[in-house]
Structure formats: structure tokens, C-alpha cells
Chains A and B, each alone.
Chain A
Amino acid sequence: MSTAYREASGPYFGDYGGRWMPESLVAALDELEEAFGKAKADPEFTDEFERLSREYTGRPSPLTEVPRFAAEAAGTAQGARIFLKREDLNHTGSHKINNVLGQALIARRLGKTRLIAETGAGQHGVATATAAALFGMECVVYMGAEDTRRQALNVARMQLLGAEVVPVEHGAATLKDAINEALRDWVASVENTHYVLGTVAGPHPFPEMVRWFHQIIGEEARAQILASTGRLPDAVAACVGGGSNALGIFHGFLDDPGVALYGYEAGGEGLETGRHAAAITLGRSGVLHGARSYLMQDEDGQTVDSHSISAGLDYPSVGPEHAYLADAGRVTYEPVTDAECMAAFERLCRTEGIIPAIESAHALAGATRLFASWGADGAEKIIIVSLSGRGDKDVATAAAWFDLLPADDASEAPQTGVEA
């Protein structure tokens, strides 16, 4: 009989998680923990969350079989089937909206009138700005200065939605620095402000709470695959940056021992180059942004900058529950390089008419790799891939990658970004 992985709750997931945070924020975290605990047991809250998920987000998201992609990707595993969980069809274009609506509802219960968020290339920032507009709250989004230049359109989206976007110039001016700046804001503003952390990282209760708001992904997928094929899948694949879409979909299958779970980290230009974001594969235990987890760090404990073609996976750590699931052996984590990912990206566009987020294309590449490892034994297998976001935002990056732009414009191609 399997361990009840689904029941795992904070503050600790095995050796990971906790609250490695300044004392100034502990009272707010206690308040949030209590409010979340009460809310999820309160039908008034869960009804409202479900209503918004249905009427505003557009849930349930479909499960789409992609036979032409599978036929090309399967190799000797011909006959294997792939289904995509279509979080890309949610309002705002990714799974991020699930968590943001949940946290905004909690913030309203706490009487907070201002939302702040970090964002890598914009998807979580756009989702938070959307929720703030919906609830009539003030919104400030912190974003690396370099990303605000490369993602001018996403900055404009957030501004249209009424949010203020603050470029972060400190440090490496990346996603992790945007989180640092959001935390600095929160220390000073916690009385009226809720920090909408965008992934299953950070101090307790964030990892548990963010997972809870995304669990619907896996619950729907499980029911949909049973309805469609009459059985559970052999494998579920998702990309992992911080890891929120992955935990959301894994959650539906964690206690089904026959379902293999795979998380694909950003291998960037290849692990041997050092330019990657494979925190689980090459990191070691450390504390960053409030949680103990796998962390890319140097010999002294300084955080090492991560690299990925997908800004949404460009984070040097990972949610603590993933670290626990990796150690427990329940989920297998592997890096996927930019090149593998872009090959899968192109294949889905061409064979199925679906442009995925480059983040999600890491999981498509992982599924392709699974077929190769199965060979002819894979003919009867079924894989569900979490398509966590849509790729409209990535068109310029892809155009540059595939050399579809005039040479002069290629160097100015923006980076991408659905944070995973």
C-alpha cells in the first residue's frame, strides 16, 4: 500500500519547508495560516472559489488527446497515447490564475486592500493584476528590470489591468531578486497588504496553500482520463520551476502507485555548461525565500544565478514538497535542455495546432524521452502532460530560436514567461 503523499501538509515536508524568514513576517504568516485553515473548511469560501473557477477562469479545463504529436514522438512505441491537460485555456492563459484567485479571496477575508506579487516574465504578475482588478484592490508587481525591458507587452498588460509594475534593479535583476523586493515591501506593508506568492515555494503556509489552490488540475485530469479511457495513465509529466503546475497535477495521482510521475527541470544550455536551472538534479539542501529545499548555491552558500530559455523556469530553487517527493522517490526529476524543449515545442505547433508555453514544452520533451525509454513496450501506454500555459507570449523567442526573423531583429527578441 502506498504512503499517503496527498495528505502531506506544512510546515515541513520531510526535511524541507519551514519558515526561514525575518521575525517581522511571522505574525502575518501565522495570520495567513489561520485564515487559510478556516477558509478551506468554510463552504462559503469553497463555493465562491469554485464559482470563480467555473465562471471566471473557465474550469474545468479540457483534456485533449494529441494523436498526431504522439505518432511522431512515439518512435518504436507506436500506439502510445498522449493527453494534454489544457491549463493554457484558462483565463489569462496559464494555471497561475487558480492560485491567484484563491489567495485574493483569502486576502479579502483578512481585510487586506493591496496585493503585491513577483513575476519572472509576467504571467503570475498578469494573473495577480487580473485578480486585483476583479476584487477592486490595489496591485504592485515586482519584476526584474531586464525582464521589464524584454517583456514590454506584459508590462503593458499589467498596467492596463491597473497594476503598478516596479522594475527591480538590485542583484542580478531576475525573478529571485523580484521575490526579494516583494518580501521587502511586505515587511513594511503587511498591515494592509497580502503577498501573492506565485509558486509552491516560500515560508509556510505558502507551499501547502498554493498547492491546495492548484489541486483541482490533478483532480479534474484523473476524472477526465478515467472517463475517456477507462483507466489511469501510466505516467504524468509536468515542467518544474518553482513547481506549482506540477504539484497541482501530481496531486491527483500521488497515491496511485501505478502512475509514474515525472518533473522536468530546465536544463538550459546543458548541465555541463553551468547555465541551467536544474535545482533538484544538481542543487543541494539550503534555505532561500523562507523554505529549506534544493538550492543552486556555491561553496559559500551564495545563490547561483539560474538560466533557461523559459523565464518561468528560471529559478534557482524549487518548492519544498518537490524536494521531499524527490528524496522519497515518488517523483522522478530530470533536466530537459533548451534544444530538446524547442524541438517538442515546434512539433506540437505543427502537428496539433497548439502553441504551448516554452515552460510546458519541457514536459512535452520529457514525454518524448519516456517513449524512447519504453521502446516497443510503450505501445499500450498513456501519458498525461500538463500543458501549464499557452505560448502566445513566446512567439518572439521561438521566432528567434528557429531563425524566422530578419537578422537585425533577432537579438532583440524578448524572453518568455509562464512561471511554473
Chain B
Amino acid sequence: MSRTAAAIDAAQAQGRPAFVGYLPACYPDMQTSIEAAVALAENGADIIEIGAPYSDPVMDGAVIQQATTEALEGGFRMDQLFEVVREVSSRTDAAVVVMIYYNLIDRMGASEFARRLAEAGGAGAITPDLIPDEAADWIAAAEQHQLDRIFLAAPTSSPERLARIAESSRGFVYGVSLMGVTGQRTAVSAAAERVVTSAKAAGAQRVCVGLGVSTRAHVAEIGRYADGVIVGTALVAALREGGPAAVGRLASELSGNS
């Protein structure tokens, strides 16, 4: 059974959208990134995304780029990604997935990557620059190790593409709320609801929405039509400003616990 699907269903059973929070591995250092992710889970996150710092993150805006660049300058290695996943998985009840650009998987080999992710207790991976058309290796590896594979759906995706994305994903589909990269926006794009509706019409069972989501009001608005709400940049900014405690406070506010 998909652990992210289970986490989303458990939240839905409580009458609320799942809260999905992103933080990069090893920012500002490995131990602090683990503590921050634990604080995130303890304050309402149902699913935790651990970002793998990468040299060429084309889907990320300035805040996340800055954080992952610092993590790389601090000597981030892939071994540490699995360490962070292992620690956060063992210390929380959240489903832990990684957000990872594909060349990092490709270099290790999809099969070896999936084996190590599963062994570390990871639930799956979000692959922002991998489309199902190119994903045969990753899908086979994820299948073999019972991992969720989360593909992105965009406002510009055709119904045919959405069907393929829905069919190829396991766990949930990541609905991109707007045309752009990660980062805070003042308002939720009108495209967000369309993406959810279209992806569901194309067969997606669970759709979580991310990109530009940063306030409790955004979460509440998106939660009316999506199965889950994804927050990244705002949490990374909180971590930078105030450490794991600030992440915990923001998570509590975003999830409606405070």
C-alpha cells in the first residue's frame, strides 16, 4: 500500500487536506535539517519531502536555490540524503519522500537508488524534471521496491498527458498551481483548481497542490478542492531565519493547529 496515499486518506478522514512540507537535506547542516523535518512532522505535516540539493535546479526559485547551493557548498553527498530520510522516518509518523532531480537518480542507477531509498525507510520520490515519457527505468525500480512515484501535472498539460501522468504515478499527483518555479506568491493562481479538476477527470485519485503556497489562507483555499497542500519556500525561509523552532511554529500555523 502506498504510504503517501495512506497519509492523505488519514487526513481526509479527519476532514482536512493533507499537509505536505518540503525541506532540503543538509541545510544548513545535516543535523539541523533532521531536527527541522522532525519539528515539521510534530507540528502537523502528514508527508515530508526531503529535497536533494542539486547543481542545476531548474524548477526552484531563489530561496530554495540559495539553500541547496549552501548545502552543496557544505559538502552534501547522496549518502547523507538517505541518512536524513532514515532519521526522519524513524523519528516521526510522517510518510517521507524525497524531491530529487533526475540526474542524481540516473547516476546511481534507478534500481540502486530505489533499493537504498526503501532501505532507509523512504516512501517514494517526487521527480520535478522527469516526465512519464522518460521514466521507464524509474517506474520499474519504484515498482520493485514498493515506492511511490510522484509526477507533476501542469496547467498546460493536455488531457492525454494528464491521463498518462495519473496512470504512471503512485501515491499522489503533484499539481503545479501555476506556470513558474517554486517561491512565495501573494495569491493562489486560478489555474490551481483547474489542474486538480482536470487531473482527477483524467483518472488521478489523489492530487496535492504546490508552488506559491505560503500562508494558512492559501492552505485553506486549496484544501477545499485538493487532497493535500504542499509548502516549501516559506518553510525554508523560516528555517533560515529561525531554525527548527521557527519551522515548527510555521507548520503549526499552516496546518491550522495554532
B141 at the interface (CB under 8 A from A): no
A288 at the interface (CB under 8 A from B): yes
Among A27, A190, A286, A300, chain B packs the most CB atoms within 10 A around the CB of: A300
Q: What residues on A are CB-neighbors of B152 within 8 Å?
A: 22-24
Known: A24-B152, A302-B104. 9 other contacts (CB 8 A): A19-B134, A20-B130, A27-B158, A170-B69, A184-B58, A287-B129, A288-B103, A297-B107, A299-B107
Cross-chain contact A171 with B56 (CB below 8 angstroms)? yes
Separation of A417 and B158 alpha carbons in the complex (Å): 40
Option from B58, B77, B158 in Cβ contact (under 8 Å) with A183: B58
A332 at the interface (CB under 8 A from B): no
Cross-chain contact A289 with B179 (CB below 8 angstroms)? no
Query: Distance (Å) between the CB of A12 and the closest chain B CB?
Result: 10
Among A287, A289, A297, chain B packs the most CB atoms within 10 A around the CB of: A287
Stretch at the interface among B40-48, B59-67, B216-224: B59-67
Interface residues of A (CB under 8 A from B): 18-24, 26-28, 170-171, 176-177, 180, 183-184, 187-191, 285-289, 295, 297, 299-303
Among B59, B78, B104, chain A packs the most CB atoms within 10 A around the CB of: B59
B30 at the interface (CB under 8 A from A): no
Q: What residues on B are CB-neighbors of A171 within 8 Å?
A: 55-56, 65, 69
Separation of A300 and B59 alpha carbons in the complex (Å): 20
With known contacts A27-B158, A171-B69, A287-B103, A187–B179 Cβ distance under 8 A? yes
B57 at the interface (CB under 8 A from A): yes
Query: Distance (Å) between the CB of B137 and the closest chain A CB?
Result: 11
Query: Distance (Å) between the CB of A100 and the closest chain B CB?
Result: 22
Cross-chain contact A286 with B106 (CB below 8 angstroms)? yes
Separation of A85 and B157 alpha carbons in the complex (Å): 44
Option from B78, B105, B181 in Cβ contact (under 8 Å) with A187: B181
Option from A180, A191, A286, A297 in Cβ contact (under 8 Å) with B179: A191
- The closest CB in chain B to the CB of A24 belongs to B154
B242 at the interface (CB under 8 A from A): no
Cross-chain contact B56 with A286 (CB below 8 angstroms)? no
A-B contacts, 26 of them at CB < 8 A, read A20-B103, A20-B130, A20-B131, A21-B131, A22-B128, A23-B152, A23-B161, A26-B154, A26-B156, A27-B158, A27-B161, A170-B65, A170-B66, A177-B56, A180-B58, A187-B58, A188-B180, A189-B179, A286-B107, A287-B102, A287-B106, A295-B103, A297-B103, A299-B107, A300-B108, A301-B78
- The closest CB in chain B to the CB of A304 belongs to B55
Separation of A20 and B134 alpha carbons in the complex (Å): 7
Separation of A22 and B59 alpha carbons in the complex (Å): 7
Query: Distance (Å) between the CB of A24 and the closest chain B CB?
Result: 4
Q: Mark B156-183, 1 if CB is under 8 A from A, else 0.
A: 1110010001000000000010011100
Q: Mark B122-157, 1 if CB is under 8 A from A, else 0.
A: 000000111101100000000000000001111111
- The closest CB in chain B to the CB of A30 belongs to B158
With known contacts A22-B128, A170-B65, A183-B58, A190–B156 Cβ distance under 8 A? yes
Option from B66, B129, B157 in Cβ contact (under 8 Å) with A20: B129
Query: Distance (Å) between the CB of A8 and the closest chain B CB?
Result: 19
B118 at the interface (CB under 8 A from A): no
Separation of A155 and B131 alpha carbons in the complex (Å): 36
Separation of A23 and B129 alpha carbons in the complex (Å): 7
Separation of A390 and B154 alpha carbons in the complex (Å): 43
Separation of A183 and B60 alpha carbons in the complex (Å): 11
Separation of A188 and B185 alpha carbons in the complex (Å): 13
With known contacts A23-B131, A297-B107, A302–B54 Cβ distance under 8 A? yes
- The closest CB in chain A to the CB of B154 belongs to A24
Q: What residues on B are CB-neighbors of A187 within 8 Å?
A: 58-59, 179-181
Option from B61, B107, B131 in Cβ contact (under 8 Å) with A300: B107
Query: Distance (Å) between the CB of A23 and the closest chain B CB?
Result: 4
Q: What residues on A are CB-neighbors of B238 within 8 Å?
A: none
Interface residues of B in 23-59 (CB under 8 A from A): 54-59
Option from A19, A22, A176, A190 in Cβ contact (under 8 Å) with B56: A176
B72 at the interface (CB under 8 A from A): yes
Among A190, A288, A303, chain B packs the most CB atoms within 10 A around the CB of: A288
Q: What residues on B are CB-neighbors of A191 within 8 Å?
A: 179
Q: What residues on A are CB-neighbors of B54 within 8 Å?
A: 302
Option from B102, B103, B106, B176 in Cβ contact (under 8 Å) with A24: B176
Cross-chain contact B106 with A23 (CB below 8 angstroms)? no
Option from B61, B105, B107, B153 in Cβ contact (under 8 Å) with A23: B153
Query: Distance (Å) between the CB of A179 and the closest chain B CB?
Result: 8
Cross-chain contact B165 with A23 (CB below 8 angstroms)? yes
With known contacts A26-B161, A183-B58, A301–B154 Cβ distance under 8 A? no
Cross-chain contact B78 with A28 (CB below 8 angstroms)? no
Cross-chain contact A301 with B131 (CB below 8 angstroms)? no
Cross-chain contact A184 with B106 (CB below 8 angstroms)? no
With known contacts A19-B133, A302-B55, A27–B61 Cβ distance under 8 A? no
- The closest CB in chain A to the CB of B211 belongs to A24
Query: Distance (Å) between the CB of B131 and the closest chain A CB?
Result: 5
